[in-house]
Amino acid sequence: MKPEGLLYLLPVWLGEAGGTELLPPLNLAVAGRVRLFFCEDLRTARRMLRRMSKAIDLDAVEMHVLDKDTPPAEVTRFGTLLGGQDAAIISEAGMPCIADPGARLVAEAHRRGVRVVPLTGPSSLLLALAASGLNGQQFTFHGYLPRESGARRQRIKELDLHVQRTGAAQLFIETPYRNDALLADLLATCADGTRLCMAIDLDQPGGSVAMRSIRDWRKAVPSLGKRPCVFILGK
């Protein structure tokens, strides 16, 4: 009988700081025994595994790149590797499959009847929302907003109107070098009373979570710089 394997979703750190004390023991144990991994970037994944345990023999593990450009036929091929052995998906940071292309392989695993096991670990989106003081009962994550300022402001206006109408929190992220441009568009577009939370460098030294009204943010506009940030609009 063919052995049944599991597909683990293996969370990693949100940044460069921190050691094994920040991850549950089960995660470290899984990382130490699994020999099949799927990841966005091979170098990052190897570094994360080495941070989990220096005893892991990286030459003995099989790794495949699974990113936004991986063609559907390749994802299907990856699915054929599942089921006979345990495997794991590793994200660039935090929880796999949330703002991460790993969801495509998870869908393929479900199609093949392979059991998917999410492990406990950091998720920047949920950490930010929990610390924001905004609506944790109703929220939507929108990924990245448009790059071009005009289209971005139009999208921000739509999200702001949705906040005013429903009270639901609206989460989104940006490539760090565009953080300050996004903040400028938020302050220029949103209503005075709309509340904005910015969660920066979560789980890292110097990280912060701050929530104020758009009116108050305009009085002292921060420089976000090139640091990972989760933005949340709320009422």
Looking at CATH, the fold of the domain delimited by 6-118 is given as Cobalt-precorrin-4 Transmethylase; domain 1 (3.40.1010)
**How would residue 26 be classed by pLDDT, with cut points 50, 70 and 90?**
very high
Q: How does pLDDT run across 171-210, given as a tens digit for each residue? A: 999 999 999 999 999 999 999 999 999 999 999 999 999 9
Query: In whole angstroms, how far apart are CA 207 and each of 47, 152, 210?
Result: 22, 26, 10
**How would residue 1 be classed by pLDDT, with cut points 50, 70 and 90?**
very low
Give residue limits of the domains in the chain: 6-118, 124-234
Query: In whole angstroms, how far apart are CA 101 and each of 21, 152, 220?
Result: 27, 23, 37
pLDDT of 2 higher than 70: no
Domains 6-118 and 124-234 agree in fold: no
**How would residue 13 be classed by pLDDT, with cut points 50, 70 and 90?**
very high
β-strands 195-200, 139-144 pairing: unpaired
Q: How does pLDDT run across 64-119, given as a tens digit for each residue? A: 999 999 999 999 999 999 988 999 999 999 999 998 899 999 999 999 999 999 99
Diameter of the chain measured on Cα atoms: 67
What is the rounded average pLDDT for all residues in the chain?
95
In three-state secondary structure terms, 89 is strand
Q: What is the CATH number of domain 124-234?
A: 3.30.950.10
Amino acid symbol at 152: R
- 64's torsion region: left (phi>0), alpha (psi -120 to 50) or beta? beta
